[in-house]
Each structure stands twice: as structure tokens, then as C-alpha cells.
């Protein structure tokens, strides 16, 4: 094959890929927004498809999807919401799967403030502790479970600062509006950025496992790009990114 013909063939492939490229509207739990942005780069490079990402609390996305929001894929912070959407006919049956196991951390922007046993929770030396709304954010519900397990839920209730999502809970701590906060470990382990402050990785025994499920929504059922994204989430490059951010895999391995 001559060089001109090879170039013509490569150009044909490139034009075909561009013609087939699509867009996916993705609703993603706030804790996974940063990892998804990195995953999206590899996905677009490999497939040509692009993502239109909206990040927020899983419970809010459920309400929006039920009201007709045109999201095509949901990356939830729990497994219950995707199952509920399937049961209600709003998502495609058998399309749900666990893409990551979330890890909860108690964090302070101040170095040395949080000890490795979480004893600071019972110290009484803080005025505010941030937590995502337990009614709509699975990580917030997990944080509340920890307080109950430690027997501190009632005592610390007046000090709780409730955020709309885990992203806002992080901001409350980062800006000093709360000395402590329950956040996702992935928010602290950002590749290329130094760890700020101090944190306690909460033992799994203190809260229900955060199995984060993906699901294909009815609006994306006929979108090849949506199907491609779900497959990409199971690919090895994606699993590597997920592990780097401190998540566990569905097998239970870190």
C-alpha cells in the first residue's frame, strides 16, 4: 500500500469515527465527579463520544429523573436508587452494576487535627461538623451511621452543618465553616495534588458498605454512546483510575 493510500485510509477511519461520535448526558454522584472527569478523557480518546456531566446528590437526581430530566446514565452513590429506578420503569432492567465501593473519611483542613482513631469526634473541641444531607446523599447517611455507632448522634446533633451534597460538605470544611466533616476519601486522594489537612479513614464496620451502582436510564436506551460508556466503566483503564482515587472494586478488593 502506498503512503498516499494509507493516509487516505486513515483519514477515512477518522471521519467515520467522528461521524459515529455521540454525546451522553450523565448524572453522577458528587463524590465521583473528579474521577469521572479523568475517565471521560480516556473514553473520548478511545471512542470519540463525549460526556455532558452533571454532579450532585443521588437523591436529587432521582427526583429529577422521576420528573422527566433527560439524563441517560446515572452513576449513583448507592445501589438502591438504580434498583428503584428500574422497578419504576425509569431505567433499563439488568443494566445496573457496581462500578466502585466508596470509602468514608472524617476530614479537617487543619494538619494534625484529626487523629487516626477518630477520637476527635468525642473531644468536644469543635463547633461544627459538616455532613451531606442524609436524606438525599448516601455518604451523609453513612456519616450519620458512624455517629450513631460511636454513641454521639444526639450529642453532636446541634453541631451538624448539613450540606446539599458531599461536594458542599467538603467545601464547608475547606473554607473553615466547619472544623470537621464527613467526606469521600476520593475527594482527598486527588492525583497530583498534595493532601491537605488530616483525616481518619472510617472503618467499614461503622457504616453500611457504599456500593455505587451505574444504570442505563430509559432516555439513553437507544444511544450507542450511553452503552459505550457503561462498557468503558468496566474496562481496565477505568478500574485503574477508580483505584487511584481510593475506591474499592465490586470484588471487595482495594
Residue 221, pLDDT above cutoff 70: yes
Using one digit for the tens of pLDDT, what is the confidence trace for 102-147? Answer: 999 999 999 999 999 999 999 989 999 999 999 999 999 999 999 9
Residue 44, pLDDT above cutoff 90: yes
Q: Fold match between 3-101+211-244 and 104-201?
A: yes
- Indicate the domain borders of the chain: 3-101+211-244, 104-201
pLDDT of 249 reads 80
pLDDT of 124 reads 86
Which pLDDT band, with edges at 50, 70 and 90, does 5 fall under?
low
Q: Which residues pair with 215 in a beta bridge?
A: 74
Query: Which CATH number among 2.40.50.140, 3.40.50.40, 3.40.190.10, 3.40.50.720 corresponds to the domain 104-201?
Result: 3.40.190.10
- Rounded to whole angstroms, how far apart are CA atoms 172 and 167? 9
Sign of CA dihedral 26, 32, 33, 34: negative
- Rounded to whole angstroms, how far apart are CA atoms 123 and 28? 35
Average pLDDT over residues 148-177: 97
Residue 3, pLDDT above cutoff 90: no
User: Does domain 3-101+211-244 bear CATH number 3.30.70.100?
Assistant: no
Of 24, 80, 78, 77, give the one whose Cα is nearest residue 53: 24
Average pLDDT over residues 204-222: 97
User: SS3 helix, strand, coil % of the chain, rounded to 5?
Assistant: 45, 20, 35
Label residues 206-218 b or e (16+ Cβ within 10 Å = b).
bbeebbbbbbbbe
Residue 13, pLDDT above cutoff 80: no
Amino acid at each position: 500500500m502506498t503512503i498516499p493510500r494509507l493516509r487516505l485510509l486513515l483519514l477515512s477511519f477518522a471521519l467515520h469515527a467522528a461521524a459515529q461520535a455521540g454525546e451522553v448526558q450523565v448524572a453522577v454522584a458528587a463524590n465521583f465527579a473528579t474521577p469521572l472527569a479523568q475517565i471521560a478523557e480516556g473514553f473520548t480518546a478511545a471512542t470519540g463520544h463525549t460526556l455532558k456531566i452533571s454532579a450532585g446528590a443521588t437523591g436529587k437526581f432521582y427526583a429529577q429523573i422521576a420528573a422527566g430530566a433527560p439524563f441517560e446514565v446515572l452513576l449513583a452513590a448507592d445501589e438502591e436508587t438504580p434498583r428503584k429506578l428500574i422497578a419504576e420503569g425509569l431505567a433499563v432492567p439488568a443494566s445496573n452494576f457496581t462500578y466502585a465501593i466508596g470509602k468514608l473519611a472524617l476530614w479537617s483542613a487543619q494538619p494534625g487535627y484529626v487523629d487516626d482513631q477518630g477520637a476527635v469526634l468525642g473531644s468536644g473541641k469543635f463547633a461544627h461538623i459538616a455532613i451531606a444531607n442524609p436524606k438525599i446523599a448516601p455518604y451523609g447517611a453513612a456519616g450519620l451511621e458512624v455517629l450513631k455507632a460511636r454513641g454521639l448522634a444526639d450529642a453532636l446533633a446541634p453541631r451538624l452543618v448539613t450540606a446539599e451534597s458531599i461536594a458542599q460538605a467538603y467545601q464547608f470544611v475547606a473554607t473553615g465553616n466547619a472544623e470537621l466533616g464527613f467526606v469521600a476519601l476520593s475527594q482527598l486522594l486527588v492525583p497530583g495534588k498534595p493532601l491537605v489537612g488530616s483525616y481518619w479513614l472510617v472503618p467499614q464496620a461503622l457504616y453500611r458498605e457504599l456500593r455505587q451502582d451505574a444504570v442505563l436510564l430509559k432516555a439513553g436506551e437507544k444511544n450507542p454512546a450511553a452503552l459505550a460508556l457503561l462498557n468503558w466503566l468496566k474496562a481496565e483503564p477505568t478500574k485503574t483510575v477508580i483505584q487511584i482515587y481510593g475506591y474499592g472494586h465490586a470484588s471487595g478488593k482495594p
